[in-house]
A = this chain, B = another copy of it.
Amino acid sequence: MATIGFIGLGNMGGPMAINLVKGGHSVKAFDLSDEAIQRVVSEGGSAAASAKEAVMDADFVVSMLPAGKHVQGLFVTGDDPLFEYVKDGALIIDSSTIDAATARQVADAAQARGISFIDAPVSGGVGGAVAGTLAFMVGASDAEFAKAKPVLDCMGKNIFHAGAHGAGQVAKACNNMLLAILMTGTSEALNMGMKNGLDPAVLSEIMKQSSGNNWALQVYNPVPGVMDGVPSSNDYQGGFQVDLMFKDLGLAMEMSQQSASPVPMGSQARALFNLHKVNGNGGLDFSSVLKLYQDQ
């Protein structure tokens, strides 16, 4: 079993760290919130007084931070960059959702320093983090992936090797952009059907068994009452917030811009979530975008 430093113990990071503890690892946990640290300690982890202390003796480091600038600052360019303290040969698994360019830059800096930094953003939400069923999309060399896999297995179910450094972030951005497209598209198709007299449950079933079939119809129907146990049937509470989807779409647009990859549908989805957000719905689950289409 390994010694693992964990930095960033929020809604996602906290349960992930606990699952590492449950997996038998020695976890040194750090967060700016003491309360967040204590939740991990109460499950058997140990508290680190600083990010530096969390990583100093670790074989692995897992980080879960809000944006690329935090990742780059923490490890490389900040006042007291962690890359100066990490053990030779350590493997850093960054599960933050950040831009691929930054992920590649930090990976390059790691290589120069004699350590490994791989990008491994997740999907599956808070529920998946708690249940240990997250999907990881990993950008790493084959050797790094093989080394990280047992650690990731403690926290997730589907561990995808997307490609070289940065590829995990690329895959995440592509998938979430497509998800935004599926959800808006499904919402507007169902709404048009309903406005023309169809029962949304019937139309959902027809499209699910036809060429309109997609993830939203399968497990995340946006129309209240069609499906049990999904956010739409719970006033769009819980789930994946509009604000987070908007952030992810911003990353996708940045990737589009830097690589000159045309994304007319993704751009449209971002615009729609933006309109929905300025209507005051940023805190609702993203399937609430259906409301944007409905008569007010």
Instruction: List A residues at the B interface (Cβ < 8 Å).
Output: 100, 123, 135, 137, 158, 160-164, 166-167, 170-171, 173-179, 181-182, 184-186, 188-193, 195-199, 202-203, 205-207, 209-215, 218, 220, 246, 250, 252-257, 259-272, 274-275, 277-280, 292-296
Query: Given A181-B185, A196-B100, A277-B260, A162 and B202 touching (CB < 8 A)?
Result: yes
| Known contacts A192-B255, A207-B174, A213-B218; A262 and B246 CB within 8 A of each other | no
A296 touches B279 (CB 8 A): yes
Q: Which of B192, B197, B212 is A163 in contact with, Cβ under 8 Å?
A: B197
Complex Cα spacing A269 to B266, Å: 11
Residues of B within 8 A of A265 (CB): 181, 184-185, 188, 265, 268-269, 272
Select which of B212, B255, B260 is within 8 A of A274 by beta carbon.
B260
If over half of A's interface residues share one DSSP class (helix, strand or loop), that class is named, otherwise mixed; here it is helix
Number of copies: 4
Q: Are the CB atoms of A192 and B246 closer together than 8 Å?
A: no
Residues of B within 8 A of A267 (CB): 267-268, 270-271
Inter-subunit contact A275/B277 (CB<8 Å)? no
A257 CB contacts on chain B under 8 angstroms:
246, 250, 253
A293 and B275 contacting across the interface, CB-CB below 8 Å: yes
Which of B213, B264, B294 contacts A214 (CB under 8 A)?
A: B213
Which residue of B163, B192, B213, B255 is within 8 Å of A259 (Cβ)?
B192
Report B-chain residues with C-beta under 8 Å of the C-beta of A182.
181-182, 185, 211-212, 214
Indicate which residue in B135, B192, B211 contacts A256 across the interface (CB closer than 8 Å): B192
CB distance from A44 to the nearest CB of B (A): 31
Residues of B within 8 A of A197 (CB): 163-164, 166-167, 170
